[in-house]
Amino acid sequence: MFKYLNRGIIFVNKILSGKIVVIGFGNIGKALVRGLQLTAQDVEIFVCDRGELNPNEGYPEGLDFNKLNYLNYESIPNLKNDLFLTEKDTIIFCVKPQNFMEAVDRWKPVFLNNQDFPLIISILAGTPTELIHKYFSEDCPVVRCMPNIAATIDYSASVLCASKKTPKHYLNRAKIIFDAVGKTWIAQEEQLDAVTGLSGSGPAYIYMVIEAMADGGVKMGLPRQLSIELATQTVLGAAKLVQDTRIHPAVLRDQVTTPGGTTISAIHELEKFGLRPMLISAVVTASERSAELAKIVEEKIKDQK
């Protein structure tokens, strides 16, 4: 964990010269704050959430509560003059889509009290940048991000896209922020549903693969814990080999497939029962559902307006 301690911290601090406000302190919000504390040590970070913080309940190792500026939802309307935000500052919405409008209503007076709008980053699933512009300002820079749960251990696969009206340097700022919790790519917004189906939901598919492999080990007589650890390390090592060598997975598969051996027999079974078509279908189905949810979210937000 904390693999980014040796980053170019001076460079990061130069780019992230303003305040960062994280709205919503769930898994991704906590991960971002922890990652930013390690990589952008001079940046002033604010956290806004419901209730009071309890350092003893479910917060990631390494998160320094003494460096947090915590804001309760109820106090936001009084921040208009105390938290003056400009184009150097960033607001990251880590709330659920159904809580989006409440967050917008509370924060509008704070960051729309001048013409130097901060960067708005949203990790809301199914909420396009065009819709976000409508509820803040047409002139606000807006970036949308799809991270995944591995952000909690600094291994997120995050994909960013900017609205058509957002200058590129804001997208670069967003990339530096999410690089603090993993690897980050930039894509077109129309690709975000596919990203959701692949990397956003993808960890769940891999958990099922690990579980199934471990069950196979148990069926063949291995102790449960050993079987889980072997399956986990096998998936981790295989993924690392693809990442480090950049060799196509099919080529690497052939390297461990001996003619007439155990692996080709197993591959035959996987092909017979349709492992590849099932995984492809999983990505397609999740992507299509993401697009459906985008329409549902847009209608709900319109109704609430």
- Does the pLDDT value for residue 103 go beyond 90? no
> How much is the average pLDDT of 28-39?
91
Question: Domain 202-283 class?
Answer: mainly alpha
- Both tokens assigned to 138: 């047409």
46-97: per-residue pLDDT in tens?
888 876 776 666 677 778 877 778 877 666 656 655 677 888 999 999 988 7
pLDDT value, residue 224: 98
Q: Is the full-model pTM beyond 0.75?
A: yes
Tokens encoding 251: 């080529």
Instruction: Give the CATH class of 9-192.
Output: alpha beta
211-235 mean pLDDT: 98
- What is the structure's pLDDT at 65? 78
pLDDT over threshold 90, residue 204: yes
Q: Is the pLDDT of residue 254 over 90?
A: yes
What pLDDT does residue 112 have? 61
What are the pLDDT digits (tens) for 138-197? Answer: 888 999 999 999 999 999 999 999 999 999 999 999 999 999 999 999 999 999 999 999
Binding site annotation covers 81?
yes
Residue ranges covered by each domain of the chain: 9-192, 202-283
Contact 217, 226 (CB under 8 A): yes
Residues 6+ apart with CB under 8 A from 124: 93, 95, 96, 97, 100, 144, 297
Cα–Cα distance between 120 and 109 in angstroms, integer? 15
**Residue, of 217 and 96, whose pLDDT is higher:** 217
